[in-house]
Amino acid sequence: MTPGAGPHARRVLVIVPAWNEAEGLGAVLAELRAAVPGADVLVVDDGSTDRTAQTARACGARVARLPYNLGVGGAMRTGYRYALDQGYDAAVQVDADGQHDPGYVPALLAALETADLVVGARFAGVGDYRVRGPRRWSMRLLSRVLSGMADTRLTDSTSGFRACNRDMIAFFARWYPAEYLGDTVESMVGALRRGYRVRQVPVAMRPRATGAPSQSSARALVYLARTALVLLLAVTRRVPAPQRAGTAPRVPEPARAAR
């Protein structure tokens, strides 16, 4: 179903967490407008010191400004609270650095017909994204554990390219981890532990607009150790009971977005 088409169409919010992304944000927002013209876009300015908020407004996006940098988890919780408060039927996370191709957003939304949370997966036969060494081992460990929990193949638990329905919005508005990998791994584990349906859609990731990821062996080993720790915490930490859409309290005023 196309967002915004007809009286019974889904209301879709695209949440874009952004920290000092003024340089490339305009291009991302233009692509989103072309890919999902019926969707609303909320840019969560995560304590930026550049013109991220001004750029977003100039492109017609809604903007929620955080007073200081909270990280992706904190920014996304703000976005989910806004989505819940405003009654959206679906929410999509798209990063501001251009790696997530907005052209895949319709496929993520379509997959919500049979899922509560849909992940855009990098290691599912589309694109040429590759990882090596300890980072690859980490991905395989996460894939094996989470696929078993979901009773379906999940190849990319650390992808931030996601779509969720109203029930998932309500859950994440109440509980969304902000710690290292919490916004990806732990949030998925929490959803699975509470019985939400998680599926994946193959996507191709694009190169980041600026900078380059570190491939040093030392950093890769640290990543492996942190991944194991996060996974252990995720499967043992208390997760709140599911809260279906329509039963959650309204969002406090500071979490609302302004144009």
Provide the pLDDT for residue 141: 78
- Residues 75, 46 contacting (CB under 8 angstroms): yes
Query: Residue 42: phi, psi to the nearest 5?
Result: -115, 115
Q: Are 196 and 151 in contact (CB under 8 A)?
A: no
User: In the beta sheet, which residues pair with residue 93?
Assistant: 15, 162
CB 25 within 8 Å of CB 96: yes
Q: What integer pLDDT is reported at residue 55 of this predicted model? A: 98
Give the per-residue pLDDT at 135.
63
How is residue 42 written in tokens? 């909320």
Q: What does the pLDDT look like over 70-120, one tens digit per residue?
A: 999 999 999 999 999 999 999 999 999 999 999 999 999 999 999 999 999
Kindly tell me if the per-residue pLDDT of 251 is higher than 70. Answer: no
- Band of pLDDT at residue 252, cut at 50, 70 and 90: very low
Res 153: pLDDT: 87
Q: What is the pLDDT of residue 146?
A: 82
Confidence at residue 155, expressed as pLDDT on a 0 to 100 scale: 86
More confident residue, 258 or 33: 33
Q: Are 16 and 95 in contact (CB under 8 A)?
A: yes
Q: 12-248 in CATH: which number? A: 3.90.550.10
Q: What is the dihedral of CA 203, 204, 210, 216, to 10 degrees?
A: 100
Distances from the Cα of 81 to the Cαs of 145, 230, 254, in angstroms?
29, 24, 10
Whole-structure pTM over 0.85, yes or no? no
105: nearest Cα among 170, 162, 45 = 162
Average pLDDT over the chain reads: 81
Query: For the residues of the chain, what is the DSSP string, one character each?
Result: --TT-STTPPPEEEEEEESS-HHHHHHHHHHHHHH-TTSEEEEEEES-SSSHHHHHHHTT-EEEEESS--HHHHHHHHHHHHHHHTT-SEEEE--TTS-S-GGGHHHHHHHGGG-SEEEEESSSSSS-----HHHHHHHHHHHHHHHHHHTS----TT---EEEEHHHHHHHHH----STTIIIIIHHHHHHHTT--EEEEE--PPPPSS------HHHHHHHHHHHHHHHHHHHHS--PPP--TTSSPPPPGGG--B-
What pLDDT, on a 0 to 100 scale, did the predictor assign at position 186?
82
What is the residue extent of each domain of the chain? 12-248
Q: Is residue 145 pLDDT above 60, yes or no?
A: yes
pLDDT single digits (tens) 189-232: 889 988 999 999 999 988 765 434 444 455 555 555 666 666 66
For residues 36-41, average pLDDT:
98
Identify the pLDDT of residue 244: 56
Residue 247 has pLDDT above 60, yes or no: no
The alpha carbon of 94 is separated from its chain's Cα centroid by a whole number of angstroms, namely 6
